[in-house]
Amino acid sequence: MWTPEGSPLKVHTERQTKLVKGLLGQAGHRNLVVDYAMRYGQPSVASVLDKLKAAGCNRVLLVPLYPQYAGSTSATALDEAYRWATTQRNQPELRVIRSFCDLPGYIEALAASVREHWAASGRPDANYQLVMSFHGVPRFTLDKGDPYHCECQKTGRLLAEALALKPEQYRVTFQSRFGRAEWLQPYTAPTLQAMAKEGVKRVDVICPGFVGDCLETLEEIAMEGKADFLQAGGGEYHYIPALNERDDWIAAFTGLIESHLGGWPTRETQEAASLALSATRAKALGATG
């Protein structure tokens, strides 16, 4: 699964960055700098923000690539940016896209990827199951008010509706559990094993919480999940790739970014507004004088 260019996560993130920058440029944002950083690894959040500041960027839109917000993922990525800001004497303006679990374009891109898989592998029958597997987190996070579980359920429901799936034809599960503490349930691996024993003949698995494939999706779900299902007596098992560089996803993501740039004036519009205000004030002074 390792590519000549590096890890799948790095490769897909770099490609997504390049494609988003291209679309934003076509939309007229030619002076916009688009870059990426890693919460764990390189390039680090702090190093990229240093680079952006050195390049003269005084406004920064932060976009964690987690569709569903969690304190352990989106929040920690933002914490890294805020921590960097505390070290800056001259801080840039910061904006944030918190999550996009119900973004229509994101949901439709997921649905389109499933439909394309169906077109290649056959339409599902009554014995079909679509498993939507999300990254797991400890159960106590939900008890403390973390919205992650609710946002995963919302994404799952909207995707099922877009695909016209009946409630009994899909399941939302959580992967990557470790340790003795209870995590969000149902767990993915035991669910796959139970489905096989129940006589489910075909399972498709998608990971809507990942916009790019990584070791977790390619090894834990595409490989280990398949082994769990088949060894328990299941039939067909298919992993549906993450959105990666799909045109519809890149377009939706770019549109989301562009919508959050609204109201941030360019130097030209600021100068024009300043001149207009000066002219208005001069006219008012002339009227009162």
User: For 144-164, how does the pLDDT look when each residue is reduced to its tens digit (9 = 90+)?
Assistant: 999 999 999 999 999 999 999
Sorted by where each begins, the domain ranges of the chain are 8-101+245-269, 104-240
Strand locations in 100-176 (E): 128-135, 170-175
Predicted confidence band at 268 (pLDDT cuts at 50, 70, 90)?
low
User: For 82-98, how does the pLDDT look when each residue is reduced to its tens digit (9 = 90+)?
Assistant: 999 999 999 999 999 99
CATH number attached to the domain at 8-101+245-269: 3.40.50.1400
User: For 182-214, how does the pLDDT look when each residue is reduced to its tens digit (9 = 90+)?
Assistant: 999 999 999 999 999 999 989 999 999 999 999
CATH level 3 topology of 104-240: Rossmann fold (3.40.50)
Predicted confidence band at 278 (pLDDT cuts at 50, 70, 90)?
low
Can 8-101+245-269 and 104-240 be said to share one CATH topology?
yes
Contacts 24+ apart (CB under 8 A), 221-230: 221/133, 221/175, 221/188, 224/189, 225/133, 225/175, 225/188, 225/189, 225/192, 228/189, 228/192, 228/193, 228/196, 229/192, 229/193, 229/195, 229/196, 229/203, 230/196
Predicted confidence band at 275 (pLDDT cuts at 50, 70, 90)?
low
Q: Is the confidence at residue 20, as pLDDT, over 60?
A: yes
At residue 108, the pLDDT reads 98
Contacts 24+ apart (CB under 8 A), 162-166: 162/107, 162/108, 162/110, 162/111, 163/111, 163/114, 163/115, 163/130, 165/130
The percentage of the chain sitting over the pLDDT mark of 70, rounded to a whole number, equals: 91
Q: Is the confidence at residue 269, as pLDDT, over 60?
A: no
Q: Is the confidence at residue 285, as pLDDT, over 90?
A: no
Contact status, residue 45 vs residue 82, Cβ threshold 8 Å:
no
Query: Which structure tokens are listed for 143?
Result: 């008890």
User: For 38-61, how does the pLDDT look when each residue is reduced to its tens digit (9 = 90+)?
Assistant: 999 899 999 999 999 999 999 999
